[in-house]
A and B are shown apart, each in its own frame.
Chain A
Amino acid sequence: MTRSTLSMQLYRRVLLLLALTGLAIATVLYIVAEREIGHASDAQLVNAAQLLDMMMQDELAAGVLIRRDRVVATDGDPLLSPEDARAFQVSYDSCMFTVFWEGRLVAQSGWGAPVALVPKRAGLHVFTAQGDRWRSFGLVNRDRKLLIVVAERHPAMGFSVSRLISQLGLPLLALLLVAMLVLWWTLRKSLSQVERLASTIAARSLSDLEPLEPQQWPVDVAPLVLALNKLFARLEGAYELEQAFTDDVAHEMRTPLAAIRARAQVLRKLAPDALSYDVERLMCVVDRTNALIDGMLMLARLNATAVAPRSVDVHELVAEAVADAMADLPARSMECSVTPDHIVRWVCDASLLRIALSAVIGNAVRHASSGGHLDIAIVRGAERLVITVGDRGPGIAAPERERLLRRFEHGASTTSGSGLGLSIAAKAMALLAGAIRLEDRPDGLGLLVILTLPLTWAKEPPSRLAEAIA
């Protein structure tokens, strides 16, 4: 089952409601129209009967009817002049009249079955003749001796459903189509505010927990914005707690470690040669533990880093990282080459890139083994900057690479270091919106670390940016 979107659900429901409303209006219209037309035609029937009655006044007054009351033949009946009768003949298939005197038929509008079926009663009646429904009105007069019945085919029969559809349905359908479009457009427009909210939040860095400005959002989204702001506040609190906690942990662990290290150094000075190897190993273990704590702190604090892109000399940052890594090595134990040998400018966050480079280059130097070789290349393209760091160490087996980019995973090699170097680099690169890839060196044994930085925009005057791109 596919999940429908909120807007689609809303759209479907409102559309259904609209269609139902349209149908209901049509039905009510139909019923009202039918009743009004019924009333009107009933009034017409009554009128016609009274008219006939009036037209017969003269003959009745002259006593014609009484004089000729035995005459059954109604053709050419003097009750009604031939002109009057003809008017009814013309509309015979939908209208007719009959006149009874003391129950006997004395006049009628024409010949045919309906006449025989006309109810001989006063008032409004409905009867069926030849499959059609008829409506009749009987008028009683002259001491109940005269009965005039006027009938008309039922008016609703002309007011058919197909005519209703053609006359009312098409405009309604057109209205529905217009409503669909307007509704869809309105929905998209209102829901675009929600999308804007989503993209605003998605664009934030992990450490950006500033509350949203409620004035910048429609009132409908206000509950969401308020809830988000509350969540931000809670996260901020939790975040500060975590920072304080990491600081405490670092402090608490560094102090006893410092004591162990100090005692080990005292031992190194005083111990007989037989113990010197063990004392050195002890110092190494302490240093590794310390490197681990440093790495953990670095990882924890990376989340809090606010990314501030500006034009940076990447070559200079590489030089700093190599200097740091090589400064503590015996001189000439490591050969390093960097290409190119001049400034390479790129817009990115300097401190994050420095962290990533230190981690990768430090890692390469540690694993390149003594007499090792380090090759670093900076390649600037139009869309991205690529920094490759290749060592001549044992390399990393393909299945292990992904694992190494995660927290607390060590390589097979047992050199010093926290084991967090590559995951720190991966984290920093992720914050830079870049990528880190581990590969085999194409030219022999060793690991190749490839850092890729995308094109970003500086939060600086455009002149510096133009300089960086030029």
Chain B
Amino acid sequence: MPRLLLAEDDADLGPAIRRALELDGYVVDLFTRGDDVCVAARGSDYDVILLDIGLPHGTGLEVLRNLRAAGLATPVIIVTAFDRTQQRVAGLDAGADDYVVKPVDLEELSARIRSQLRRRDGRQNDTLSIGAVTLDFAGHVVTLDGRDVPLTAKEYRILALLMRRSRRFVSKADLEAELYDQDSWAESNTVEVAISALRRKIGRDFIQTARGLGYMVGAQER
């Protein structure tokens, strides 16, 4: 069972996040002071640290620098109300692995924790999950709700490109270019054929279309 360190000084928010994460099956230790966090993080082995920036007795950034200076490699997700770009940059520069702005959606936070756990286990580089679809780049395997989905090479390449660029539109020209270097000449409707095949195999709603923009996946990353 993964152990989380939660650093949050707000008397309402801290217990609320702990309660929600406990329901998701994590063991959560809540701290409200920066100095306590430093001691606890060094003292015992946590899987992920969730860190608020505005902590008393040592801000989140100070705690983070302190932990990284001490050689602690535990993944850290900053959870804060400050959303300015330079504040994000400061957080990431100090050694954070991810950055979430309040009021954070707990399902999203849970997903980001899972992502950090996967990364810690060294699995993050070869798989990518969006919704129920998981793509294994190493094995060229696509699963839908855990079941293998047989895809042609063209379909796989198109899905891989769409998933790598999730939540952004990929133009038809870019998709054609992705196919072009693979085999001979791409037919003018090759992309459309592949997309409709993908929709048949992994669900009609997985790939969004906008005329003039292209195709996109990643509607609901939950």
Contacts and interface: CB of A to CB of B under 8 A. Distances in A.
Closest 3 pairs between A and B when the two form their complex, measured CB to CB: A338-B212, A258-B103, A337-B211
A290 B105 CA distance: 12
B103 A286 contact: yes
Interface in B93-116: 101-107
Interface in A261-307: 261-263, 265-266, 269-270, 286, 290, 297
B204 A257 contact: no
Interface string A28-66: 000000000000000000000000000000000000000
A327 interface: yes
Interface in A235-277: 247, 250-252, 254-263, 265-266, 269-270
B16 A337 contact: no
Given A255-B102, A265-B106, A331-B206, A323 B211 contact: no
Interface residues of A, number: 42
Contact of B81 (A254, A336, A338): A254
B210 A337 contact: yes
A102 interface: no
A338 B213 CA distance: 6
A329 B205 CA distance: 10
A329 B106 CA distance: 19
Contact of A319 (B81, B84, B103, B213): B213
B219 A331 contact: yes
Contacts of A331: 204-208, 219
B167 interface: yes
B81 A261 contact: no
Given A259-B16, A327-B167, A327-B219, A340 B212 contact: yes
A323 B168 contact: yes
Contact of A332 (B204, B218, B220): B204
A269 B81 CA distance: 25
A270 B103 CA distance: 20
A436 interface: no
Given A332-B208, A338-B210, A327 B103 contact: no
Interface size class of B (residues with CB under 8 A): 35 or more
B82 interface: yes
B212 A337 contact: yes
21 contacts: A254-B101, A254-B103, A258-B16, A258-B103, A263-B16, A265-B20, A266-B23, A269-B23, A319-B168, A319-B210, A323-B213, A323-B216, A324-B167, A327-B218, A328-B220, A331-B207, A335-B211, A337-B211, A337-B212, A340-B212, A376-B212
Contacts of B17: 258, 262
B16 A262 contact: yes
B219 A329 contact: yes
Given A251-B54, A323-B167, A331-B219, A262 B82 contact: no
A247 B204 CA distance: 43
B19 A323 contact: no
B81 A255 contact: yes
B213 A341 contact: yes
A336 B213 contact: yes
Given A250-B83, A251-B82, A338-B211, A257 B102 contact: yes
Given A322-B210, A326-B219, A332-B205, A256 B167 contact: no
Contacts of B204: 331-332
Contact of B106 (A254, A262, A323, A338): A262
Please classify the interface of chain B as helix (H, G, I), strand (E, B), loop, or mixed, using the class held by over half of its residues.
loop
B145 interface: no
Given A322-B169, A328-B220, A266 B212 contact: no
Interface in B148-175: 167-169, 171
Given A266-B23, A270-B23, A326-B219, A256 B10 contact: yes
Contacts of A328: 219-220
B12 interface: yes
Nearest to A324: B167
B13 interface: yes
Contacts of A327: 167, 216, 218-219
A381 interface: no
Contact of B212 (A255, A286, A339): A339
A460 interface: no
A341 B210 CA distance: 10
B219 A320 contact: no
Contacts of A338: 210-213
B23 A261 contact: no
A322 B213 contact: yes
A330 interface: yes
Nearest to A320: B168
Given A262-B16, A269-B20, A326-B210, 9 more contacts: A254-B102, A254-B103, A255-B102, A258-B81, A260-B103, A266-B23, A319-B210, A323-B216, A341-B171
Contacts of A261: 103-106
Interface in B43-97: 54, 81-84
Nearest to B171: A341
A376 B210 CA distance: 10
A262 B211 CA distance: 38
Interface in A125-182: none
